[in-house]
């Protein structure tokens, strides 16, 4: 059934095509992660330790890390929802096929994850595990998913703090990254149980779960409704402001910052820093580890909610679709850009690098993605993962009720955007 395109209907459905706003937000996360990996300390040439970077780059170095990853994790949850039916998840045998499809998505990502793990970048390994962790949750309602995410937002940092305070030595040894990495994992089956236990119980998993589940809940909503997008922006703005206020109030007026890091202490949660105060759970980075910060979880979810709501609205407008198409194209090639930028960084050695190198990577990513998407619908690595899904868990193609938005005049050949 087709809705009438009346400007007087504020909640009218948008054309059910690819969500360019999600692509744009995913691109922001990817490009910000590129910034973190380049780690600029100087504008034209890097400033090496013990010298300090300038105030702007120094501020970015302190406040940017972990936030792009958090945004990327939330987008992963949204993508998982869209890959598995969006706001109308299947049931019965179709749900079984959907679960297999999500599991095979992890399998398709595994070679790239092992490649990245071999050069010391394990985030795609987490991505593989995250998709598997969401499989049991696919049939849950939006309300149930948000309830679970809300509970985990509070309980998971508490669990991490308890482990660090009362099992510190064991935890630091157990949570050290395994010696078996990369493709060596495939020929070390005796290490598989330990690796699985490591990834499932690590504080990074505890931190990621509420973000993933919130993303899954968002993807189960009707993201084509304008009122929902506005609500996401409002709640996101409130969450960001509340997180900043609570973190500042606990750290400064209440004086927990002095208790957390007295002169000569080490990084919170490490062997030389002593027990982590309970009140520090209400502080945010950079004063507290992100896995120990309740405001950090709230802020990460709120940033994702605000950006998704805003860009879903912006990217419904044809002029903005044309202007921001390079950004959306980059988001649709997220896997290719992520793996590719690491491969491109290898000849440059170890960070830190200069800001102009980051700008070079940024421009190349935008230009390459735009040119590639004018020729093909999927990036090189995205095409590989899609072919694996098509070969292992094929599905019947369904024609959309309406064409996709302008600029990307294409019909999806999968149930929903991933």
Q: What is the DSSP string of 28-74?
A: HHHHHHHHHHH-EEESSSPPPTTSPPPHHHHHHHHHSTTHHHHHHHH
CA-CA distance, 283 to 294, in Å (whole number)? Answer: 7
3 falls within a domain: no
79 burial (CB, 10 Å; 0-12 / 13-18 / 19+) is buried
Per-residue pLDDT, averaged over 405-413, amounts to 41
For 161, other C-beta atoms within 10 Å of its C-beta total 24
Of 212-221, 225-234, 346-355, which range is least confident? 346-355
Instruction: Quote the domain boundaries for residue 123.
Output: 20-46+54-392
Is 191 or 259 the better-scoring residue by pLDDT? 191
Helix axes 334-345, 355-373, angle to 10 degrees: 140
299 falls within a domain: yes
CA-CA distance, 148 to 165, in Å (whole number)? Answer: 25
Per-residue pLDDT, averaged over 55-59, amounts to 92
Element (H, E) at 104: helix 93-118
The overall average pLDDT reported for the chain is: 85
- Outline where 179-293 has alpha helix (H): 192-201, 203-219, 226-251, 256-260
Classify 251 in phi/psi space as left (phi over 0), alpha (psi -120 to 50) or beta. alpha
175 burial (CB, 10 Å; 0-12 / 13-18 / 19+) is middle
Domain count, the chain: 1
Is 140 or 274 the better-scoring residue by pLDDT? 140
* pLDDT for 120: 84
8 falls within a domain: no
180 falls within a domain: yes
344 falls within a domain: yes
Residue 276 confidence class, pLDDT cut points 50, 70, 90: confident
The pLDDT of residue 417 is above 80:
no
Per-residue pLDDT, averaged over 353-371, amounts to 96
* pLDDT for 397: 55
Tell me if residue 183 falls in helix, strand or coil: helix
Query: Phi/psi at 161 (nearest 5 deg)?
Result: -65, -40
The pLDDT of residue 343 is above 90:
yes
417 falls within a domain: no
Tell me 137's DSSP state: G
* pLDDT for 332: 96
CA-CA distance, 46 to 412, in Å (whole number)? Answer: 44
Q: Under a CB-based contact definition with an 8 Å cutoff, are residues 190 and 288 in contact? A: no
The pLDDT of residue 56 is above 60:
yes
288 falls within a domain: yes
CA-CA distance, 123 to 342, in Å (whole number)? Answer: 12
Q: Which residues contact 189 (CB under 8 A, 6 or more apart)?
A: none
Per-residue pLDDT, averaged over 349-375, amounts to 95
- Find residue 354's DSSP bridge partners: 42
Is 319 or 273 the better-scoring residue by pLDDT? 319
Q: Under a CB-based contact definition with an 8 Å cutoff, are residues 9 and 52 in contact? A: no
What is the sign of the dihedral through the CA atoms of 219, 203, 176 and 70? positive
Question: What are 143's two structure tokens?
Answer: 């309300």
Is 231 or 49 the better-scoring residue by pLDDT? 231
pLDDT in tens, 171-185: 666 677 777 888 998
The pLDDT of residue 284 is above 60:
yes
Distance set, CA 320 to CA 20, 278, 312, 317, 365 (Å) = 10, 46, 11, 5, 19
Of 230-234, 246-250, 262-266, 340-344, which range is least confident? 262-266
For β-strands 40-42 and 353-354, DSSP reports them as parallel
292 falls within a domain: yes
């Amino acid at each position: 059934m087709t809705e009438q395109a009346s400007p007087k209907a504020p909640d009218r459905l948008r054309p059910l095509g690819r969500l360019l706003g999600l692509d744009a937000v995913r691109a922001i996360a990817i490009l910000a992660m590129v910034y973190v990996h380049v780690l600029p300390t100087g504008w034209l040439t890097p400033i090496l330790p013990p010298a300090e970077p300038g105030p702007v780059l120094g501020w970015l170095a302190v406040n940017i890390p972990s936030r792009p990853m958090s945004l990327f994790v939330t987008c992963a949850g949204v993508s998982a929802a869209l890959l598995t039916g969006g706001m109308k998840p299947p049931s019965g045998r179709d749900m079984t096929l959907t679960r297999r499809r999500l599991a095979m998505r992890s399998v398709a990502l595994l070679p790239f994850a092992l490649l990245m793990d071999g050069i010391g970048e394990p985030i795609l390994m987490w991505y593989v595990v995250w998709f598997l962790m969401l499989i049991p949750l696919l049939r849950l309602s939006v309300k149930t998913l948000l309830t679970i995410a809300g509970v985990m937002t509070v309980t998971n940092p508490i669990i991490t703090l308890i482990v660090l305070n009362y099992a510190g030595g064991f935890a630091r040894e157990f949570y050290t990254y395994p010696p078996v990495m990369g493709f060596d994992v495939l020929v070390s089956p005796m290490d598989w149980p330990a690796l699985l236990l490591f990834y499932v119980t690590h504080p990074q998993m505890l931190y990621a779960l509420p973000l993933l589940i919130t993303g899954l809940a968002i993807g189960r909503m009707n993201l084509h409704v304008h009122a929902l997008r506005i609500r996401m922006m409002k709640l996101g703005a409130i969450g960001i402001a509340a997180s900043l206020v609570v973190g500042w109030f606990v750290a400064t007026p209440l004086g927990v910052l002095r208790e957390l890091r007295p002169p000569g202490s080490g990084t919170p949660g490490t062997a030389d820093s002593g027990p982590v105060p309970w009140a520090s759970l209400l502080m945010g980075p950079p004063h507290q580890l992100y896995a120990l910060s309740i405001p950090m979880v709230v802020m990460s979810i709120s940033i994702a909610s605000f950006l998704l709501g805003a860009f879903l609205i912006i990217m419904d407008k044809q002029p903005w679709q044309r202007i921001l198409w390079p950004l959306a194209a980059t988001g649709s090639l997220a896997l290719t850009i992520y793996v590719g930028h690491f491969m491109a960084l290898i000849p440059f050695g170890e960070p830190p690098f200069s800001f102009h190198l980051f700008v070079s990577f940024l421009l190349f990513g935008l230009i390459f993605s735009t040119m590639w998407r004018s020729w093909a619908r999927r990036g090189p690595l995205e095409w590989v993962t899609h072919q694996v899904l098509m070969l292992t868990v094929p599905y019947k193609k369904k024609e959309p009720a309406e064409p996709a938005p302008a600029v990307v005049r294409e019909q999806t050949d999968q149930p929903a955007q991933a």
